[in-house]
Structure 1
Amino acid sequence: MTTIYVDPSKKKEQIVKLSDGTFGLMKAEKQKSGIGYEFDFTSHMHPSFRIPHAPVNGDEETVHSIDGEQQFKIQWLSK
């Protein structure tokens, strides 16, 4: 499981660091049901994915891609 470190004070867009040392971008998107969030990663080791709600500390997301299943855990960035 790869951990995504998120700063909860940044609601619209931010660069996120992953537990394996790679980086990505988390950005808010307007959807019919409200605001969802998209995660795009600089490394090709991880597939992009969307969640239909604001990130929650401790949430685990399972993402299915052509390379198989990957699991991500969202963790608040401690200051």
Structure 2
Amino acid sequence: MTTIYVDPSKKKQQIVKLSDGSRGLMKAKKEKGGIAYEFDFYSHLHPSFIIPHAPVNGGIERVDSIDGQQQFKFQLN
């Protein structure tokens, strides 16, 4: 499982760090049901994904990709 470190004070966009040393970008997107959060990663180790809610400390997201399922845990800093 890979941990994504998120700064909760940055609501719209931020560069996030991962426990494996890679980085990515989290962007807030306006959706019909509210705000969704999109995660795009700079390396090809992890698939991009969207969650329909704000990241929750300790929350786990399971993401299906071409390489199989990956799990991400959020840690708010």
TM range (shorter): over 0.9
- The one-character-per-residue Cα deviations of 1:1-54 (angstroms, maximum 9, x if unpaired) are 000000000000000000000000000000010000000000101000000011
Note the residue ranges of structure 2 that are not aligned, 5 or more in a row. none
RMSD (Å), alpha carbons: 0.4
Query: Which segments of structure 1 move beyond 6 Å, counting only runs of 4 or more?
Result: none
Normalised TM-score (structure 2): 0.98
Which one-letter code corresponds to 1:36 in the other structure? A
Which one-letter code corresponds to 2:72 in the other structure? F
Normalised TM-score (structure 1): 0.96
Note the residue ranges of structure 1 that are not aligned, 5 or more in a row. none
What residue is the counterpart of 2:2 in the other structure?
2
**Percent of aligned pairs with the same amino acid:** 77
